[in-house]
Amino acid sequence: MKWKVAIILLIILLAGFFYVSSLNSPYTPMGRLGFVKILNPDMSPGNPHSELVAQYAKERGSNTVLVVHLAGHRSGYPCYYEGDVYIMELGLLDKGGYSTSIKWDDVIQGFLFGIPDSRYEYVSDGIIFENLTDALDYLDRKAAQNGQVGPRLMFWHGTVRNDNPILNQGCGLPLYYKICEHYYGRFGAYYYTLMGMIFPYLNSPYRNFEIMNSAQLQYDYNHGLLGPLVVD
């Protein structure tokens, strides 16, 4: 019983510590946005996931959000408005090749030793960045131009095209982890990733629909039945 109390107290202390830390960071990590695509293309104005991001932002007094992806191409990932909420996008380009399946060796290496910056490039607004610092500096300027109000929320896209969407955390998680590590260190990245995995189960109104219909939605996406097929 004592160890359960100790774990709860530890979680509370960590939550308090990282919350205070987040006040001095440009981003407030929120977590996973979706499980599978429900309309394509996304992210784009009017897409249900795009509208959901804007809703999350307004509920938290923000007008600026970052959604991160595993990039399937070297163009696109534009910043755009969903109503009066400015949604920025950033994609991670893996020089080792694009894959939507889980690479467990990469997961283990990233968890234990971090993710090497030399392996990746980044794309936003069709602009390629050689390192994460340059990409984040660009997004800082975009947020400032937008007249950022409130916390700058951050989500990973989270959609899965083939695998089990409960086991596979989907598009963008490596970049989300890497940005959290950049601002909060390794343990901060662990904490925000774990909390982010829980986030859609507690907050997304599409949770049950996406999970229960994931196989059909994945089939529809892969066969171009959800709208124009855009790889992201």
Alpha helices in 23-172 (DSSP H): 48-59, 104-113, 132-145
Residue matched to tokens 């007008």: 63
Per the domain annotation, does 228 fall within a domain? no
pLDDT, greater one: 9 or 74: 74
Per the domain annotation, does 184 fall within a domain? yes
Using one digit for the tens of pLDDT, what is the confidence trace for 150-167? 999 999 999 999 889 999
pLDDT at residue number 118: 73
Per the domain annotation, does 215 fall within a domain? yes
pLDDT at residue number 164: 94
Average pLDDT, whole number, for the chain? Answer: 86
Number of domains in the chain: 1
- Most confidently modeled range among 14-23, 55-64, 98-107, 114-123: 55-64
Per the domain annotation, does 231 fall within a domain? no
* pLDDT higher than threshold 60 for residue 6: no
pLDDT at residue number 220: 93
Per the domain annotation, does 229 fall within a domain? no
Beta strands in the chain (DSSP E): 27-32, 64-70, 80-82, 85-94, 120-124, 127-129, 152-156
Per the domain annotation, does 227 fall within a domain? no
User: What does the DSSP 8-state code read for residue 118?
Assistant: G
Identify the domain containing residue 12 by its residue range.
2-222
pLDDT at residue number 102: 55
Rounded Cα–Cα distance for residues 53 and 68 (Å): 12
Per the domain annotation, does 87 fall within a domain? yes
pLDDT at residue number 25: 75
* pLDDT higher than threshold 80 for residue 1: no
Q: 99 — phi, psi (to 5°)? A: -150, 135
Per the domain annotation, does 230 fall within a domain? no
